[in-house]
Amino acid sequence: MSELEKTLALVSAHALRFRADSADRPHRPALAYSEMLARLGGPTPERAAAMEQVIGELIERAEPGLAAMIGPRFFGWVIGGTEPAGMAADWLASAWGQNTGNNEATPAAAAAESVAARWLLDILGLPSEASVGFVTGATMANFTCLAAARGEVLHRAGWDCEADGLFGAPPIHVVLGEDAHSTVFSALRYLGLGDRRVIRVAVDDNGRMDGDAFVEALAPLTGPIIAIAQAGHIHSGAFDPFNEIAAAAHAKGAWLHVDGAFGLWARAAPDRAHLADGVELADSWATDGHKWLQTPHDCGYAIVRHPGAHVRAMRIAASYLPAGDLAHPADLVPELSRRARGFPTWAMLKTLGRDGVARMVSQHCAQARRMAALLAREPDIEILNDVVLNQVAVRLGSDLPAAQADALTQRTIGRIQREGTCFVAGAHWRGVEIVRVSVIGAATRDEDIDRSADAILAAWRAERGANEAS
Ligand SMILES: *Cc1c(COP(=O)(O)O)cnc(C)c1O
């Protein structure tokens, strides 16, 4: 065997073993970052080494620092399961080494994106004329969409922001919900729109924007406006009232952007689609492949109803690049050189199919309700959100003074993670510490929910008991 054959055989054997073990391996890495620095560290390599040996060493050294994020009982943050078809297509993307900027230079990679984009728009029920940029995730999708929004609202006001920048431009009003995701604020910062000069609209107990408050916030505004709504609140999974928001935004000539990193996928499931009713009325949408579609990291989609505004914001022109009339992949994203994200997206959409996506989304939402029901049987546990989607926000010790409940909640999360049956993380929401359960990995079965609920309850009882004994 050649060195390459031996190396790929090693990687393949290891990947198979890692994935087969993922249900049983500890979710939390055995070693911490500082220990991994020592394990992977050493002086700068001065001389060449054999590839097979280096890759073998990487596997051996990295393993204790890996989290079982693809496991069936990993409910931390909002993280998809990197399903095998997407992983295999992603390996091919690397093997083929396609730099996916240009239709003429890499027609297969560019066409896979164009085709997968049409399928995505169809499954998500979004306008077929929209353009889709394949970015690293919803953070860059928010950035890309809001760049198109910024250019377009200024263009309509007679200002060419791509040419003349923001100095001297008519001010843009940015209106969003109190509970907008942190990455929306990042995007606003990157775009020179600032994260402090925004107008924040009140939200209800689920973090859902108040439609009347939105209309009131818009009423006095004149000039360019960008409104930002949300499909799938990071803790509650709630959806903003899009019909109301879109009608008011468009009456004011505003651009409406929707952050739908995972929640937009409710559109794919007939029993959940009503939650996002009216979302199709927006001007742009950010969503992820590496959350509910289960592609490998990284993969997100910047979807814009107005391809002209999209391309105007992102186009990269250079004399040494093939041009042509059609938009190239690089005209829709911030990067010029990048990996071929269309291949894993194409492979995941084809292996799951429309009905497979629908089944998975429905099943995760049912499993979230199952988890909430199992936990809420305890009188001192409260579910803080309406579990409409895949997110469960759990308040432990609802009968205790707040500070004590918060401290016990944090200790319980640590205990759950150490015990290892499942993985959950916490957050601060509505003034209290919560346990967040995100059901979004493809491998999760109902029995995983039951086992995990038992583990969470056992950890909570143990912490509460230890507290009362002391
Ligand atoms: C995850 C998430 C983001 C950020 O997406 P990345 O893929 O991590 O860049 C933005 N908004 C919401 C609501 C999210 O859940």
- How sure is the predictor about 467, in pLDDT bands with cuts at 50, 70 and 90? confident
- How sure is the predictor about 114, in pLDDT bands with cuts at 50, 70 and 90? very high
Q: Is 234 in the pocket of ligand 1 (CB under 6 A)?
A: yes
Cα–Cα distance measured from residue 328 to residue 101, given in angstroms and rounded to the nearest whole number: 6
pLDDT at position 321 is 65
Q: Which atom of ligand 1 is nearest to the CA of 233?
A: 13
Cα–Cα distance measured from residue 129 to residue 118, given in angstroms and rounded to the nearest whole number: 9
Q: Is 287 in the pocket of ligand 1 (CB under 6 A)?
A: no
What separation in Å is there between the alpha carbon of 261 and the centre of ligand 1? 5
What separation in Å is there between the alpha carbon of 296 and the centre of ligand 1? 15
Residue 172's nearest CA partner among 186, 190, 191, 144 is 191
What separation in Å is there between the alpha carbon of 379 and the centre of ligand 1? 33
- How sure is the predictor about 469, in pLDDT bands with cuts at 50, 70 and 90? confident
- How sure is the predictor about 435, in pLDDT bands with cuts at 50, 70 and 90? very high
Q: Cβ(388)–Cβ(238) under 8 Å? A: yes
Q: Is 231 in the pocket of ligand 1 (CB under 6 A)?
A: no
Cα–Cα distance measured from residue 387 to residue 372, given in angstroms and rounded to the nearest whole number: 8
Q: Is 143 in the pocket of ligand 1 (CB under 6 A)?
A: no
Tens digit of each residue's pLDDT (9 = 90 or more) over 290-303:
999 999 999 999 99
Sign of dihedral through CA atoms 122, 127, 132, 135?
negative
Q: In the predicted model, what is the mean pLDDT of residues 25-48?
A: 94
Q: Is 240 in the pocket of ligand 1 (CB under 6 A)?
A: no
Q: Is 392 in the pocket of ligand 1 (CB under 6 A)?
A: no
Tens digit of each residue's pLDDT (9 = 90 or more) over 234-282:
999 999 999 999 999 999 999 999 999 999 999 999 999 999 999 999 9
The identity of residue 269, as a single letter, is: A
Cα–Cα distance measured from residue 238 to residue 263, given in angstroms and rounded to the nearest whole number: 8
Q: Is 261 in the pocket of ligand 1 (CB under 6 A)?
A: yes
Q: Which atom of ligand 1 is nearest to the CA of 183?
A: 10
Q: Which atom of ligand 1 is nearest to the CA of 142?
A: 10
pTM of the entire predicted model: 0.97
User: Which residues are within 8 A (CB) of 451 and not within 5 positions of it... i.e. 6 or more apart?
Assistant: 73, 421, 422
Total residues belonging to the chain: 470
Q: In the predicted model, what is the mean pLDDT of residues 9-22?
A: 95
Supply 373's token pair. Answer: 């029901």
Supply 72's token pair. Answer: 């069936």
Average predicted confidence (pLDDT) for the chain: 96
Q: Is 232 in the pocket of ligand 1 (CB under 6 A)?
A: yes
Cα–Cα distance measured from residue 63 to residue 464, given in angstroms and rounded to the nearest whole number: 34
Q: Is 436 in the pocket of ligand 1 (CB under 6 A)?
A: no
Q: Is 260 in the pocket of ligand 1 (CB under 6 A)?
A: no
